[in-house]
Amino acid sequence: MLEITSPIQLLDAYEETKSLLDLRSGKRGGPQERMILVCGGTGCQASESKQIVHEFKRLIKENGMDERISASISGCFGFCEKGPIIKIYPENVFYVSVKVADVPEIFDSHILNGEKVRRLLYEDPKLKQKIESADDISFYKLQQRVALRNCGLINPEKIEEYLATGGYQSLAKVVGGMSPKEVIEEMKKSGLRGRGGAGFSTGRKWEYASKSTSEEKFIICNADEGDPGAFMDRSIMEGDSHSVLEGMAIAGYAIGATQGYVYIRAEYPLAVSRLQIAIDQARAAGLLGKNILGSGFNFDISIRLGAGAFVCGEETALIHSLQGLRGEPGTKPPFPAESGLWGKPTSVNNVETLANVPVVYQKGADWFSSIGTETSKGTKVFALAGKINNVGLVEVPMGTTLREIIYDIGGGIKGGAKFKAAQTGGPSGGCIPEQYLDTPIDYESLSAIGSMMGSGGMIIMSDQDCMVNLARFYLEFIVEESCGRCAPCRIGNKRMFEILTNITEGRGTAMDLHELRSLAETIMDTSLCGLGQTAPNPVLSTMKYFMAEYEAHVFEKHCPAGTCQKLMHYEIIAEKCIGCTSCARGCPVGCISGSVKQVHLIDQARCIKCGACLSRCKFAAVSRN
């Protein structure tokens, strides 16, 4: 087993292992030499990517090509819409939507005969042509992968491949030649801000913890990713766990901590498994534990599983949960940097933040701060979801506009529909309408238009989405996830949810609109923690930009998007009805009357708005409005 006890040995290990990546960088690779990487993220594994790897390995072995051809899993490539994805090096060929049954054809045509399987290549929807190299795919052209730098490049279950990228060199640089104060100053100079939502300076957070006097301090990695539609942190842990561990060790050295914890939700079994593999490998290699790299620095990491409570993403609630207490937030001050886990100084950083840390010391603070905007440095990872063509994981420099993300990277709105809004920041964020498509994505710009960066979820909506119902969806989530400790959040959000339910079901009044806004503002001002303080954001932003939809629901009892079921009105068009009785036979409550070959009629008082009549009619004789 690899064991590294000094920076010199680490450098030697890098020199020995970096050839592993030469094939992927095009520095070597003859006509008979190939490396096959198959996406091993959760989404692609659900589509049998592990079986794809096994099938490749079987064919490689049967053909006696073990020394020249390799096949392995990798982390998430990001282009989830097209998974499972296969990359073949050195050509960097990108195959999409691959099935196990496709493997023999790829092996025979591409591996044995050097002929690409064109039907499996990605086709650019605008150019209407197959793209042979991943470098030419529009989805990746505007991206700059820093936190995701190794996802899709290395096998996350092999420490040798992380070392081949220069892994743990930053840790060696820090513990071997920098004082904790110098480490913190370099981090402050980089401008890295927390990627978990609040955007607080990482260097300043470390500085506060370092100045707190205590015999024991802790580093916590917040991996409790709970926003609906978000999977940024999960993908980093699945694809590059070592970068997070290295970031934690550097943070531990900076503040004087000797123990780190990864608090991760139990619903992420693959991420948990790969984290544990990485911890075991790093510990066996001497990169965690006692006297790391002969420096005298001791630091170890353990995993703690969370039960999936959204509120435990808040750092004080997380700390309470980690201690075995009920996961509910505490009052601040004192902040965790002064009194955190077990009352000791604690620095809590999220996964994406920590994944950026090694890069700051590997390439320098000046390099990192050259990316992004004046106040928001570096890149940001977003999980694109909703009504967008290219669902997936993207990483772009801060300052990239919404329009560039949605249209140039995301491929535009699904089905050619019209863009309506982008929801950023999860349940705590706001909805951004079309007029702000050219807004640069950074902390201040999003805040100025009533939204927030959040952890990185970005849900795209079309004109077929109801903004009132969207606000109701997020309030339902918040009500379910509230810890209930403070009355504004426990009672106020419940009341807002009830009002929104009334509005979407046709019982809303003008007074409800006034009460909704008043409640939202009160809850923001009086809630104990960030969950309650930001919970009204989806309501306030949709009322600000889409008030006409609220008014249509209240005064016209009509949903303009046609999605609020209780406000739908189904009617049979007499001129088109031929009396086939299909709608009547499919109605679950028997509210449609009419004889064979006669025009049918819907009893509106008994109609439950299920839409069965619309879906069964073959003559377009049923209307919905």
- pLDDT score at 134: 85
How many C-beta atoms surround the C-beta of residue 353 within 10 A? 25
User: Please, what is the average pLDDT of the chain?
Assistant: 92
Q: Which CATH number fits domain 179-369: 3.40.50.11540, 3.60.21.10, 3.40.50.300, 3.40.50.150?
A: 3.40.50.11540
Residue 1 has pLDDT above 90, yes or no: no
Predicted confidence (pLDDT) per residue in 272-282, tens digit:
999 999 999 99
pLDDT tens digits for 250-279?
999 999 999 999 999 999 999 999 999 999
Predicted local distance difference test score (pLDDT) of residue 15: 81
Work out the average pLDDT over 91-110. 94
Tell whether the model's pLDDT for residue 27 goes beyond 80. no
**Is the bond into 7 cis (omega within 30 degrees of 0)?**
no
- Tell me which of 565 and 370 has the higher pLDDT: 370
For residue 144, name the pLDDT band (cuts at 50, 70, 90).
very high
Which of 227-231, 344-348, 387-391 is least confident?
Answer: 227-231
Q: Which of 52, 56, 74 is nearest to 65 (CA)?
A: 56
- pLDDT of 530 reads 83
Give the CATH fold of the 7-141 domain: Glutaredoxin (3.40.30)
- The CATH number of the domain covering residues in 379-462: 3.10.20.600
pLDDT of res. 126? 81
pTM: 0.91
pLDDT at position 230, please? 83
Asked if pLDDT for residue 30 goes beyond 60, the answer is no
d(CA 362, CA 149): 13
Instruction: Please state the rounded mean pLDDT for residues 175-194.
Output: 96
Q: In whole angstroms, how far apart are CA 226 and each of 183, 198, 356?
A: 31, 15, 21
- pLDDT of res. 447: 86
Q: Where are the domains of the chain?
A: 7-141, 179-369, 379-462, 467-556, 568-624
Angstrom distance (rounded) from CA 367 to CA 374: 14
3-class state of residue 447 by DSSP: helix
Mean pLDDT of 34-55: 92
Residue with tokens 């609040």: 198
Amino acid at 603: D
Percentage of the chain surpassing pLDDT 90? Answer: 75
Residue 90: cis peptide before it, omega within 30 degrees of 0:
yes
Q: Alpha-carbon distance 61 to 27, whole Å?
A: 25
Higher pLDDT, 229 or 293: 293
Residues 6+ apart with CB under 8 A from 113: none
Full 3-state SS string of 199-260: CCEHHHHHHHHHHCCCCCCEEEEEECCCCCCCCHHHHHHHHHHHHHHHHHHHHHHHHCCCEE
Considering the domain delimited by 467-556, tell me its CATH architecture: Up-down Bundle (1.20)
Higher-confidence residue of 613 and 1: namely: 613
> Of the given ranges (273-277, 296-300, 566-570), which has the lowest mean pLDDT?
566-570
Q: Is 26 left (phi over 0), alpha (psi -120 to 50) or beta?
A: left
Q: At what angle do helices 7-17 and 169-177 cross, to 10 degrees?
A: 160
Least confident piece of the model among 10-14, 210-214, 357-361, 433-437: 10-14
Q: How large is the average pLDDT for residues 99-110?
A: 96
What does the pLDDT average to over 36-46? 91
The CA distance from 354 to 176, in Å, is 20
What's the pLDDT band for 91 if we cut at 50, 70, 90?
Answer: confident
For domain 568-624, give the CATH number.
3.30.70.20
Amino acid identity at 184: I
Predicted local distance difference test score (pLDDT) of residue 408: 93
pLDDT tens, position by position, 117-126: 999 999 988 8
31, pLDDT greater than 90: no
Predicted confidence at residue 331, as pLDDT, reads 85
Sign of CA dihedral 548, 554, 559, 561: positive
pLDDT of residue 295: 93
pLDDT tens digit string along 491-507? 999 999 999 999 999 99
CB atoms within 10 A of CB 620: 9
**DSSP E strand boundaries for 332-465:** 346-350, 379-386, 392-397, 419-424, 430-433, 457-462
Q: State residue 429 phi and psi, 5-degree precision.
A: -95, -170
Q: What is the pLDDT of residue 372?
A: 95
- Starting at the edge strand found earlier in the chain, the sheet holding 34-39 runs 69-74, 34-39, 86-89, 93-95
Q: Give the per-residue pLDDT at 211.
A: 95
Quick: pLDDT tens for 146-159.
999 999 999 999 99
pLDDT for residue 133 is more than 70:
yes
Contact 534, 482 (CB under 8 A): no
3-state class (DSSP) for residue 262: strand
